[in-house]
Amino acid sequence: MEKRIILRGMLSGAVAGLVAFIFARIFAEPLIDRAIDYEGGRDDAVAALHRAAGMAGHEGDHEIYSRTVQSTVGIGAGMIAFGVAMGALFAVVYCVCIGRVGRITPRNLALLVAGGLFLVLYAVPFVKYPANPPAVGHADTIRDRTGLYLLMVVCSGLFLLAAVWLGRRLQPRLGNWYATVAAAVGYIVTMGIVIAVLPSFGELSMNQREFGDFATETPQPLTDPAGTIVYPGFPADDLFQFRLYSFTAQAILWTIIGVGFASLAPKLFGSGDSAATPSRAASSSA
């Protein structure tokens, strides 16, 4: 039974990755192209300021794959592979939840697991560390930024598990509704503290300067030593739209994984919509 669940989870993930890629290709890729053009123009402006100041220039890195390959085959294969991996993760969590979450139908369990993973892996970390296009964020801080994002994901997962445990412990005393509310409030409060304590990406680069201009997370207007703006800051509209489309692509991915598997779950267990999730022993012997 576990193998059948994992295979169907991976299939749902592959379809979800393909649909998310199509969405990102239509909406997000034009923004990435504009961000890359902005980054190239800003690098040229910085190089010109360096030459005017008698400083050595910096040669750009040569890309291994062309932008055309990256924006088509590269991102397509990457998102489908990511979808398969997330579908497999979803299936593993689904198997672990069977028989441990009370009388929940297989279909509803699939939706709950997909929603929980979306919350833990993306939605909550996105609140503190939203997705950024190229040209936003310093290359020198990429390791720190990656570490902080992973720490946020780990905290989100651990505190969600703690909230589920708390809800189950409070259920006999408070009832299902109030226990769920108490667990949700506890999760929100603890994650709010984590969000407040962890540094923002912009704080990592506040000690770096570019001709008197602080290098914040979002590039500000580039100025020369006299204070004259020689290159504009990164467009706020492009940043907002990129983050919106990135969030939407992830929501599409996890929605399709959850709904896709939910449509297969009753057939897997030979049950209807109203049937409760089978026990762990029954699923293992199937």
Chain segment 140-188, per-residue pLDDT in tens: 677 888 899 999 999 999 999 999 899 889 988 998 889 989 999 999 9
Give residue 57's pLDDT band: very low, low, confident or very high (50, 70, 90): low
Residue 146 counted as domain residue: no
User: Which amino acid, 80?
Assistant: I
Specify if 189 maps to a domain.
no
User: Does 3 score more than 80 pLDDT?
Assistant: yes
Nearest by Cα to 121 from 94, 92, 97, 157: 157
- Spatial contact of 197 and 209, defined as CB atoms under 8 Å apart: no
CA distance 45 to 231: 7
Average pLDDT of the chain, as a whole number: 84
Q: What's the pLDDT at 206?
A: 52
Paired strand residues for 214:
209
Assigned domain for 199 exists: no
Asked whether residue 177 is assigned to any structural domain, the reply reads no
CA neighbours closer than 13 Å in the CB half-sphere of residue 33: 12
Q: How many domains does the chain have?
A: 1
Residue 16 lies in a domain: yes
Amino acid at 72: T
Q: What is the pLDDT of residues 179-222, one digit of tens each?
A: 989 999 999 999 999 999 998 876 665 544 443 344 466 788 88
Q: Beta strand 222-223 with 229-231: parallel, antiparallel or unpaired?
A: antiparallel
| Contact by Cβ (8 Å): 109, 89 | no
Is 59 a domain residue? Answer: yes
Q: Does residue 276 sit within a domain?
A: yes
Domain limits for position 247: 2-137+236-285
CB 87 within 8 A of CB 260: no
Stronger pLDDT, 111 or 72, i.e. the higher one: 111
Q: Could you give the CA distance from residue 274 to residue 225 in angstroms, rounded to a whole number?
A: 71
Q: Is residue 212 part of a domain?
A: no
Q: Count of CB atoms within 10 A of residue 64's CB?
A: 7
